[in-house]
Amino acid sequence: MGAEEQLFSRFGKEMPRGTVLFREGDPGKEMYVVQSGKVAISKRVRDVEKVLATLGPGEFFGEMAIISNKPRNASATVSEDARLLVIDPKTFESMIRGNAEIAVRMIKKLADRLSEADAQIENLLLSDPASRVVHRILETCASRGRPTEEGIEIEFPVRDLPRELGVGEPAIRITLNRLERGGLLERSGDRLTVHDTARLKDYLSYLEMRWKFGDL
């Protein structure tokens, strides 16, 4: 039995799609690690449920309620059948105290999340829907892009983005079509390859100026 299976046999649970793991305001008694599948993290804003992130294998969540001993500040729902490790506060503390590598990885991940939160706030301040899409592409290239011979490759699942960006799926696809026709990127399913991020930044500046001044 491999290390992953050993962990799953001790801490694991299989969760079908649609399972609500916890809701915003619930007491925090456990944290989770995704072994397979996906989990959507969402928050209610003015009576609208907004997806903040979709987490996949290797990601963890729910630790802040354990650390701060405060209610959950967001909700978590299984969006794709998942295998999760469920860690209670005592086990979590033992892991952190007994393994410096785990502690360092967690600190780095929390720092990444703060940066992503800042980027998301900046994105939502943009009024032009196309600018929000382009800004998200650039932010994803910087944070999770994979260099290739053709440029920077990223995962960009359009179906997950409307509630995150506040932009409808048709508008997102229209923007991607324009970028592809303009030679700024190529699409293959949920993957994008951005040929030149500098050109894409120039295009974002153009969109912002056009939104600000209109067609003079």
Strand ranges for 56-89 from DSSP E: 60-61, 75-87
Name the DSSP class of 188: E
Upper half-sphere CA count for residue 128 (Cβ side, 13 Å): 17
CA 58 to chain centre: 13
In the predicted model, is pLDDT for residue 92 greater than 90? no
Check residue 143 and give its pLDDT: 85
Residues in the chain: 216
Please classify residue 31 by burial: count the beta carbons closer than 10 Å to its beta carbon, then call 0-12 exposed, 13-18 middle and 19+ buried: buried
In the predicted model, is pLDDT for residue 50 greater than 90? no
* Other CB atoms within 10 A of residue 190 CB: 12
The tokens describing 136, both together, are: 């998200």
Long-range contacts of 143-146 (CB under 8 A, 24+ apart): 143/112, 143/115, 143/116, 143/119, 145/194
pTM for this model (two decimals): 0.54
Domains of the chain: 3-101 (2.60.120.10), 124-213 (1.10.10.10)
pLDDT tens digits along 95-150 = 777 777 766 777 777 767 666 665 666 555 566 888 889 988 998 998 889 999 99
The residue to which tokens 């592809």 are assigned: 180
Q: How far apart are CA 97 and CA 89, in angstroms?
A: 12
Q: How far apart are CA 178 and CA 195, in angstroms?
A: 14
The tokens describing 29, both together, are: 């008694």
The tokens describing 72, both together, are: 């959950």
pLDDT tens digits along 178-199 = 999 999 999 998 899 999 999 9
